[in-house]
Structure 1
Amino acid sequence: MKKLISGLLVLSALAIQAPTVHAQGMSEEGNNASETAPIQQRIDLNSATIEQLVTLPGVGQSKAKAIVKYREEVGPFLEVAQLTQVKGIGEKMLSKIEGYVLVK
């Protein structure tokens, strides 16, 4: 009987821990897949410098310069989705960076 109770205690302890371990794993995966910056830390597309823009995922010097050039030639961004009008930025790139930028 003691073995049965000990076994049940071990199983219940594992059952209690299993969802926690699973949730932690999901949390880590979720952060990589859809990591976003809080709104107050997002970069404003209409005032960002090249140095700030290159901190965005997948944005190097050339894309950062293209964003600034577009802003200077066309005017301020009205919405984040307008980034797809910048040379070298498509829907896939937009989906990578839209959580890190905003338009004021």
Structure 2
Amino acid sequence: MKKLISGLLVLSALAINVPTVSANAENSESMQGSETTHIQQRIDLNSATVEQLISLPGVGQSKAKAIVKYREEVGPFLEVAQLTQVKGIGEKMLSKIERYVSVK
């Protein structure tokens, strides 16, 4: 009887831990895959469309339009940090998206 109970305890412990480990491994892999895609395909701030800019984390339609409007009024971006001059984009937002954009 003790062997049966200890065996069930071991199996239940494994059953509880296995889905958690599996889910974490899947999430980690999918995050790495999407991050790799963004790193390999940085969006050029000087030629990006509103639709491309919306794909950036935390950038909605209004911020994307503000980036394009800034570019049209002021001229091309000289560096990524210049994004903080766009209305609605501060240092916090810049830190979220700077690894996904470039200036060519």
Structures share a fold, TM > 0.5?
yes
Q: Distance in 1 between matches of 2:87 and 2:54?
A: 15
Q: Distance in 1 between matches of 2:72 and 2:54?
A: 18
Residue 56 (structure 1) shift: 0.3
Instruction: Describe the SS at the equivalent of 2:68.
Output: helix
TM-score, scaled relative to structure 2: 0.66
Q: How many residues of Structure 1 are paired with residues of Structure 2 in the alignment?
A: 77
Residue 38 (structure 1) shift: 2.3
For residue 72 of structure 2, what is the aligned residue in structure 1?
A: 72
Q: Please list, as runs of the form range in 1=range in 2, the aligned pairs for 1:25-104 lying within 5 A after superposition.
A: 28=28, 35=35, 37-39=38-40, 41-104=41-104
For residue 12 of structure 1, what is the aligned residue in structure 2?
A: none
* Percent identity (aligned): 83
- List alignment gaps of at least 5 residues for structure 1: 1-20
The structure whose residues are more often helix, as a share, is 2
Query: How large is the Cα RMSD of the aligned pairs?
Result: 2.3
TM-score, scaled relative to structure 1: 0.66
4+ residue runs over 4 A deviation:
none
- List alignment gaps of at least 5 residues for structure 2: 1-20
